[in-house]
Chain A
């Protein structure tokens, strides 16, 4: 199927996707870049002027900015930690012979399919609520004072909610990778005198390394953009305690009406995402060559 005719046909078939995605990406990106150098406030839309690097400097000197970067990293790091360690542990567990494997799998993967607003609401009102929540009841049962999660530990609460949603994803991916481990390799290791712990360190973990890399990179891309959970629970508060970079940008744009500032923040977010992207592309690209 390698004649000149088919080659032209192939180009025509790819054109819509490539063209549409290109426009969809370039135009808004260019606009964001442009806005980042402008004084542009939505309350005063007629008054637009060149601002140079003012917006970037503004962001850089704003204490909320560094707080939000820190919070972003905490959310990403915290969720990754929980999901990778938890994911490996649960995957190992589910890989063992158990009764009712199918149902256990279904129960474990369910949180991933719950839409973020619902997840946030359930955790906010039913689990973590200091008055009516399950954790509050549990605390009272043991004689402790119920914790107001979203006031005292806003960032931690967000991490817990998001980790709950993504743990199934990590588990599923790692379980899939685990089940592709050659049984004969395991048997060879046993003959070589390796016990379960040794087999885990020298055989299982290296085999999982690739899947773990993919999980980390893919999750990071999505975790850098955590939004709905914050919107529905803390709204970024108290103060900026649970505001991550996306939320800060959102606030600057739609609550502060500062388009220039928000765009500068957006560019910074893009740079951050691109750093991660480079690693992900390499990992996925290697797979394409297989």
Chain B
């Protein structure tokens, strides 16, 4: 629309938008402010002016053995993402470049596995993991996270691979490229952005997963989700420290999320909205 928008309406919309945005963001903002207050300050009542102390962050990182859950979150999200990519890339590739009549059915079936409610298979998995010695292990959890996100990873990669124009691959073939050369010099460079986007989204989904990571872990492999959940009835009041731990738990994913808005839309709508 190339018409002049009146500055008055622009300011009006801006104010409205900022009000809505700040209201939505407020809980996060307030948690952050609380995390840089001292404990007495934190329970003293509503205040937007913290003393700006970093003591809580220091405490959380040294005293509360925060490091282990944090590392678990990192290992689980990165590990399960890499594993999922290794399994999914060939599959999405085959489906995008050599589609058959079955391809669509297989994709829809994969989608349907994501719709199964986790709790319905809680008991079988709990028992199987217990009997196999996988309960509360990084390996077991990584496996679990890989499988539950595999459908989304395959779908996302499939939609990205399909966008690579077939004519460019034909041109490479006419230019004398063998299959290997085609993959190395043409296909992979063009697929990298799609793979990176999928990687980003999957790390976010795995990091935030809050069912299996809580139910299949106790101490060793518990990531941040389980760690924070264990504070649902905190003994002793330490809001400030809890806020600091919470901020550290969500900060990496918040930042990643800010940069992956487009990927989120594509990945979680299974390509239906782009």
Contact = CB atoms under 8 A, between A and B. Distances in A.
Contacts of B20: 90, 93, 108
B208 A115 contact: yes
Interface in A111-161: 111-127, 132, 134, 137-138
B121 A287 contact: no
B150 interface: yes
Interface in A1-28: 1-2, 6-7, 9-11, 13-14, 16-18, 20-21, 24-25, 27-28
A122 B106 CA distance: 41
Interface in B242-270: 242-243, 246, 249-250, 253-254, 256-258, 261, 264-265, 268-270
B5 to A, nearest CB: 5
Interface string B83-101: 0000110110111011010
Given A109-B257, A134-B46, A228-B211, A17 B88 contact: yes
B246 A121 contact: yes
B225 interface: yes
Given A17-B154, A110-B25, A287-B271, A132 B45 contact: yes
A241 B108 CA distance: 36
A28 B13 contact: no
A260 B46 CA distance: 48
A113 B90 contact: no
B208 A7 contact: no
Contact of A221 (B46, B100, B114): B114
B122 A249 contact: yes
A228 B210 contact: yes
Q: Tell which of A99, A272, A276 has the most Cβ of chain B within 10 Å.
A: A99
Given A7-B98, A176-B265, A284-B270, A16 B114 contact: no
A13 B106 CA distance: 13
A18 B24 CA distance: 41
A100 B18 contact: yes
Interface stretch (A47-55, A59-67, A164-172, A197-205): A164-172
A21 B117 contact: no
A29 interface: yes
Nearest to A123: B27
A279 to B, nearest CB: 11
A136 to B, nearest CB: 9
A100 to B, nearest CB: 7
B168 interface: no
A286 B208 CA distance: 30
Given A14-B90, A90-B20, A164-B24, A266 B120 contact: yes
Nearest to B208: A115
A255 interface: no
Interface string A247-286: 0011001100001001101110110111011001101110
A262 B122 contact: yes
Q: Tell which of A6, A106, A107, A221 has the most Cβ of chain B within 10 Å.
A: A107
A161 B246 CA distance: 16
A31 interface: yes
Contacts of B30: 122, 126-127, 134
Given A21-B150, A108-B21, A35 B121 contact: no
B214 A214 contact: no
Contacts, number: 305
A253 B25 CA distance: 37
A29 B128 CA distance: 12
A211 interface: yes
A267 B120 contact: yes
Interface of A: 1-2, 6-7, 9-11, 13-14, 16-18, 20-21, 24-25, 27-29, 31-32, 35, 90, 93-94, 96-100, 103-127, 132, 134, 137-138, 164, 167-169, 172-173, 176-177, 183, 186-187, 210-211, 214-215, 218, 221, 224-225, 227-228, 231-233, 235, 245-246, 249-250, 253-254, 259, 262-263, 265-267, 269-270, 272-274, 276-277, 280-281, 283-285, 287-288
A-side binding surface: helix, strand, loop or mixed? helix
17 contacts: A1-B169, A9-B94, A14-B90, A21-B147, A31-B124, A94-B17, A113-B204, A115-B208, A115-B228, A117-B210, A214-B273, A218-B269, A231-B229, A250-B122, A270-B116, A281-B112, A284-B108
Contact of B119 (A113, A225, A276): A225
Given A137-B45, A274-B115, A122 B31 contact: yes
A110 B261 contact: no
Given A32-B124, A233-B232, A115 B98 contact: no
Nearest to A29: B121
B118 interface: yes
Given A28-B125, A32-B124, A90-B20, A281 B113 contact: no
A280 B150 CA distance: 18
B14 interface: yes
A13 B249 contact: no
A117 B117 contact: no
B90 A13 contact: yes
Nearest to A2: B98
